[in-house]
Structure 1
Amino acid sequence: MSDDTAALRPELEAGLGALGLDPALATPLLDYVALLALWNATYNLTAVRDPREMIAKHLLDSLAMQPYVRGLATLADLGTGPGLPGIPLAIATPSLHVTLVESNGKKARFLREAIRQLKLGNATVAESRIEAFKPATTFDAITARALATLPLILQLGGHLPGPDGRLLAMKGVLPVDEIAALPGGWRLAAVHPLRVPGLVGERHLVEVVRAGSEA
């Protein structure tokens, strides 16, 4: 952890507390931010370049959905980029195994290095296009953050959740038109408004399940 990121600890700890999470998570999360800022200077992994902005826009925004993955065993983070929301969720939820799906080579290299340095035994990288990813087993849930519309996410990754699996899509303003356009075989299960410490504006977690599911 650099001196610059260490100075962000009070803000991050306050945000973690507001989300009901252990403030001790600040240490590995700040290590992740320091590594991301270092790599971002060369590889342009994220448009957010200021580590202070990363606290709310990346870490706390990702962790706002953590209550909805606590009971899951496996999660695939589609088009994860530099590991969002997958890496913060893996850090905060040791019982959850997160597969980070990313086709961009430089981002996949960063993800593997982040997993190594953070000693994340519950995260793996799948360097693949979403539609080409054919794992041996399905997932309890898939997630995506700022990736695509709900119909397109399901078009690309709808083969990845199991029969009782679900899509947990992170959205800003409630995407009414996208929900109305859900493809056949899928239905809306719930919409969870999220409050992200330090962020102004609407955030929603849209939960979509297979049409035959009782969830």
Structure 2
Amino acid sequence: MNQELKQLQPEFNQECQKLGIAVSEAQSEQLLEYLSSLFKWNKAFNLTAIRNPQEALYLHLLDSVVVSPAVASFDSCLDVGTGGGLPGIPLAILNPEKSFTLLDTNSKKTRFLKQVVYELGLNNVTVVNKRVQDFNHDSGYACILSRAFASLKDMTDWTEHLLAADGQWLAMKGLYPDDEIAQLDSSLQLVDSKQVKVPNLDATRYFIYLQKTQ
């Protein structure tokens, strides 16, 4: 593990505790190992613009860890446009009893993710290198989540065929998306919205839950 990240582990554990999110020592180490691999592979694969370990701790790890309570009621999740595995990999580490599919069109990023899954022994993660429109899943997912993937309309239009009958979309937004919500089809409804604070970040985070109308 990157030694600078190793030194940040107590700080990371403390911030998780403040958030009320239970993280075991083994999970904490896995999360930091993942971030260490992200930095290592970044030199060749351009996975993130963030180079500073402490910045990445908050902007990548903790920004993903805060999502964990939001997926508590779902047994299967599809992370669309996962990129370097955010928030999918951290969520899979924190929720080993749930299954996660990480989908991205960038073959370099999915190659990195497959290596991370192998190195960390994440048996609950499947990595898929496809366009979302070309991907199918027989039973559908209980939750389809995205972090800066697309507008709410595009996200729901492109992934509707992948949602389970009673499933929900969960979109993470930096600003409350009034205009995007107004553009949604009448067959969709806003189920809930939550404002979330990430430690040491000025930016606001909103979790937007959507569902098909019955």
Query: What is the TM-score when the length of structure 1 is the normalising length?
Result: 0.95
Q: Tell me which residue corresponds to 1:203.
A: 205
Rounded Cα–Cα distance in structure 1 between residues aligned with 2:181 and 2:11: 35
Query: 1:204: how far off?
Result: 0.5
Pair 1:2 & 2:7 matched: no
Cα distance in 2 for partners of 1:132, 1:49 equals 33
**Matching of residues 169-188 of structure 1 within 5 Å:** 169-188=171-190
Partner of 1:148: 150
Q: Is the contact made by 1:70 and 1:96 (CA closer than 8 Å) also made in structure 2?
A: no
Distance in 1, Cα, partners of 2:39 & 2:8: 13
Letter matched to residue 116 of structure 1 = Y
CA deviation digits over 1:127-177, x for unaligned, max 9?
111111112220001000011110011121121111110100001110110
Q: Give the letter aligned to residue 22 of structure 1.
A: A
% of aligned pairs identical? 38
Which of 41, 44, 55 matches 1:42?
A: 44
Give 1:100's aligned residue: 102
The amino acid of 1:143's aligned partner reads: L
Give the partner amino acid of 2:17: G
Identify unmatched segments of 5+ residues in structure 1.
none
Which residue in the other structure is 2:125 paired with? 123
Q: CA shift at 1:21, angstroms? A: 2.0
Deviation at 1:199, TM superposition (A): 1.2
Please say if 1:69 is aligned against 2:71: yes
Query: Aligned pairs, how many?
Result: 212
1:10-68 residue CA offsets vs partner (Å, 9 max, x unmatched):
22112211222234232110000000000011110112222221111111111112112
Query: What is the alpha-carbon distance in structure 2 between the residues aligned to residue 97 and residue 50 of structure 1?
Result: 31
- Counterpart residue identity of residue 31, structure 1: E
Deviation of the 1:2 alpha carbon: 2.1
> Residues 142 and 168 of structure 1 are in contact (CA less than 8 Å); yes or no, is this contact kept in structure 2?
yes
Alpha-carbon distance in 1 for matches of 2:64, 2:130: 22
Task: Encode CA deviations 1:178-208: one digit per residue, 9 max, x unaligned.
Answer: 0111123211000011111121121100000
Match of 1:91 in 2: 93
TM-score by length of 2: 0.95
C-alpha distance in 1 between matches for 2:152 and 2:171:
7
Give the letter for the 1:99 counterpart: T
Residues 96-129 of structure 1 deviation map (CA, whole Å, 9 limit, x = unaligned):
1000011100000001001001110111111111
- Separation in 2, partners of 1:139, 1:5: 34
For structure 2, the 5+ residue unaligned runs are none
Secondary structure, counterpart of 2:58 in structure 1: helix
Distance (whole Å) between structure 2 residues aligned to residue 15 and residue 98 of structure 1: 24
